[in-house]
Amino acid sequence: MTQNPLLADWTTAFGVPPFDLIHAGRFPPAFEAAMAAHSAEIAAIGSDPAPPSFANTVEALERSGRLLDRVQAVFFNLAASQATEAYQAVEREVAPLLARHGSAVALDPANFARIAALHAARDQLGLAPDQARLLDRLHMNRLRAGAGLDAAGRARMSAISARLAALHTAFGQNVLKDEDAWQLVLSEADLDGLPPFARDAARQAAAERGVEGCVVTLSRSSIEPFLTFSARRDLREIAWRAWVERGSGTLGADNRPLIREILALRAERARLLGHADFARYRLADSMAGAPEAAERLLRQVWSPAVRRAEAERAELAELARAGGQDAPLEAWDWRYWSEKLRQARHAIDASALKPFFPLDAMIGAAFETAGRLFGLRFAERADIPTYHPDVRAFEVQGPCGAHVGVLLLDNFARPAKRSGAWMSSFRVAEALDAPVSPIVVNNNNVAKSDPALLSYDEAETLFHEFGHALHGLLSAARYPSQSGTAVLRDFVEFPSQVLEHWLSVPETLRRHARHHETGEPLPEAMLARLLASRTHGQGFATVEFVSSALIDLALHRHPDPASLDIDAFEAAFLAGIGMPRGIVLRHRPAHFQHLFSGGGYAAGYYAYMWAEVLDADAFDAFREAGDPFHPDLAGKLKAIYAAGDTSDPMELYVAFRGAEPRVDALLRHRGLAEA
């Protein structure tokens, strides 16, 4: 029998998975073998007759489960980027099995007894700072998983984890099902107002789906340009309604029953661990510390954002009337007239900007930024395996050509690929026994065309995800569980969001924003207008985001989530916070994947805004220094990327900045300081 490549040694360049040998059917037996191996390792640690020590317990746990980590990393990356029915079937099968296995590990009494004994004696162990933090957080995470409960409580926690895993999987697959199934087929006569790049992308989408003419899909890179530029108000309404109804049952899949069960199970888990609600449980382990602190920040931003949004609405309604629209301004009109206003006010047209932002040039801009800040170089390598023809592979090198890691770029939207943009890892950096270099992947969902042209927002998203990639690539943590992005949830977005600022550095734009046909740089007048227009529409954008973060906290503090009427709750909540008419949540509950296709951002969507306080204040340091590439500041910033979870996040930030951040920088950055 041929050996399963997932269980074999890999001889590929830099140990990248041999994707050509891997298919969905390989995973069930690989998961079975890897979980069995991990269970044996955990049993051996727990039954070790030697007294517990940091080496035979904590470091042994760090070494355990490496095969399972490898199989999981490959599977979940592939399941997100090419979610065929075969991969989805495996995901439905293994998600609860993995959850039960993870619970068995986290709740193992023998291991917890050893960890607790070490934690009680931690001051006498002579630990290095990273080791002391590792032990503290290991002990705390075991308690938060339920290891301190009685046998009945541990059993219930395990059952909850398994059921949640199945529900999360179903939720995400339902959203993808709606996004893949829906399309708006257009004839050439329906393209009024669409610029060439949007028409090309619609033709490309039609070709990929085997449809004559042009197609608008529910990929954000397709739907948002259509809502921004299409002069056909009737078609904008159809597209907008489909976009906001994903997962609600209207298009086919209904996630609302799943939401109720997910929220109820999370609330039960929190109560088992002594917390009043899930939000309080989740934020106990965060920089915010409590829901009240997160909500206080959001409310500080909400009031000026609403004032700005109401002023924007009045301007847009007046412009729409002048443009011949007799009907009231609706949600499907907002982007269209906002773009018209931006053109009028700043003499800048988003469609005229796109030719200056070809994808390859923006990748080059990101690479050069990382080179100037952190001394990195990116060499494209044809010998590194990839899992799809769209994917490009790069060896990342440091000073003197030293190998740092591998970066895979998967930039294009396609059927069966999850929407949105994200970073993940096939392997994390560590140095427990020997240096291990990271293998990082960046996913975007750019509409494929020839050439691929980005909006400014898409270029900013590319920088954002690249910031996450750098967080993984630059990690100098000794232990795998402290590596790279394995930090508190409301700190993980800081390294990504702060990097976005370097796209707006005039020097970056002058060097890299060049016309894809002529090579001419972005005209200085246009560059100035672009930078001046960056706060345009920030009332809308901020309201759209903050309302989503507020409803996240409200849903996870609801006293009886099992009885929730999701639609009624959403309507009442938005009325209660004074949601401006014509704006909806950036993510309505039925397709809010940050919250319900996994638990990572549950009661934690506010983290993006929390991190923006940090990133706006951090980039102010470079402004104050008068040099966006100031070497001393760049070195201090690199230390944050390198640290992973080896230190408290606020301590890391204060070491960089000299003080804790304030919300003022965020309000200035968004143009809301005077709102």
DSSP symbol at 246: T
Cβ partners under 8 Å of residue 443, min gap 6 = 80, 81, 410, 411, 417, 418, 420, 421, 422, 423, 424, 465
Same topology between domain 5-176 and domain 355-532: yes
Note the pLDDT of residue 575: 97
**CATH of span 355-532:** 1.10.1370.40
pLDDT of residue 329: 96
Q: What is the strand order of the sheet 377-380 is part of? A: 377-380, 392-397, 403-412, 439-446, 422-427
What Cα–Cα distance (Å) separates residue 301 from each residue in 345, 457, 663? 25, 21, 8
Contact 453, 358 (CB under 8 A): yes
For 411-455, how does the pLDDT look when each residue is reduced to its tens digit (9 = 90+)? 999 988 988 899 999 999 999 999 999 999 999 999 888 899 999
Q: Do the Cβ atoms of 82 and 417 come closer than 8 Å?
A: yes
Task: Give the max Cα distance, the chain.
Answer: 82
pLDDT of amino acid 235: 98
Residue 250 has pLDDT above 90, yes or no: yes
∠ Cα 443 228 444 (to 5°): 5
pLDDT for 350:
85
Q: Which residues of 96-129 are buried (b: 16+ CB within 10 A; e: fewer)?
A: bbbbbbbbbbbbbeebbebbbebbeebeeeebee
Classified as helix, coil or strand, 659 is: coil
Decide if 465 is catalytic.
yes
Specify the residue for token string 């948002």.
Answer: 224
Q: Which amino acid is at 321?
A: R
pLDDT surpassing 90 at residue 407: yes
CATH class of 5-176: mainly alpha
State the average pLDDT over residues 253-260. 97
How many whole angstroms separate alpha carbon 74 and alpha carbon 91? 12
Average pLDDT, the chain: 96
- Over residues 308-331, mean pLDDT: 96
Tell me the average pLDDT across 630-654: 98
Q: For residues 237 and 243, give the distance between their C-alpha atoms in angstroms, rounded to a whole number.
A: 10
What is the C-alpha to C-alpha distance for residues 659 and 654, in angstroms, rounded to an integer? 5
Residue type, 610: W
Catalytic residue among 430, 458, 465, 570: 465
CB-count exposure of residue 466 (10 Å: 0-12, 13-18, 19+):
buried
CA distances from 272 to 138, 244, 595 (A): 19, 35, 21
H-type alpha helices, 146-232? 151-181, 196-209, 220-229
d(C-alpha 617, C-alpha 623), whole Å = 10
Sequence-separated (6 or more) residues with CB below 8 Å from residue 437? 14, 403, 404, 405, 406, 427, 429
Q: What is the DSSP letter of 600?
A: T
pTM for the model: 0.93
Residue 349 has a pLDDT of 86
- Residue 675 binned pLDDT confidence (cut-offs 50, 70, 90): low
Question: What pLDDT score was predicted for residue 296?
Answer: 96
Long-range contacts of 18-23 (CB under 8 A, 24+ apart): 18/385, 19/385, 19/386, 19/387, 20/385, 22/74, 22/78, 22/387, 23/86
Locus of tokens 């304030």: 662
Q: Between the CA of residue 166 and those of 80, 93, 662, what are the distances in Å?
A: 16, 8, 40
pLDDT digits (tens, 9 = 90+) for 74-131: 999 999 999 899 999 999 999 999 999 999 999 999 999 999 999 999 999 999 999 9
Query: Cβ distance 608 to 493 under 8 Å?
Result: yes
State mean pLDDT over 219-223. Answer: 91
* Joined tokens for residue 434: 């020997």
Is the N-terminal amide bond of 328 cis, ω within 30° of 0?
A: no
**pLDDT tens across 356-389, in order?**
999 999 999 999 999 999 999 999 999 999 999 9
As given in the structure block, the two tokens for residue 116 are 């607790």
Q: How far is CA 33 from CA 29, 72, 91, 94, in A?
A: 6, 12, 16, 13
Residue 478 phi/psi, 5° resolution? -75, -40
Report the alpha-carbon distance of residue 558 to residue 54 in Å, rounded: 41
Instruction: Tell me: pLDDT of 673 over 90.
Output: no
pLDDT over 60 (residue 1): no
Q: What is the mean pLDDT of residues 208-218?
A: 93
Average of per-residue pLDDT across 216-237 = 95
pLDDT at position 83 is 87
The structural domains of the chain, with segments of one domain joined by +, span 5-176, 182-244, 355-532
DSSP codes joined into one string, 35-104: HHHHHHHHHHHHT--SPP-IIIIIIHHHHTTHHHHHHHHHHHHHHHHS--HHHHHHHHHHHHHHHHHHHH
Tell me what pLDDT residue 449 has: 86
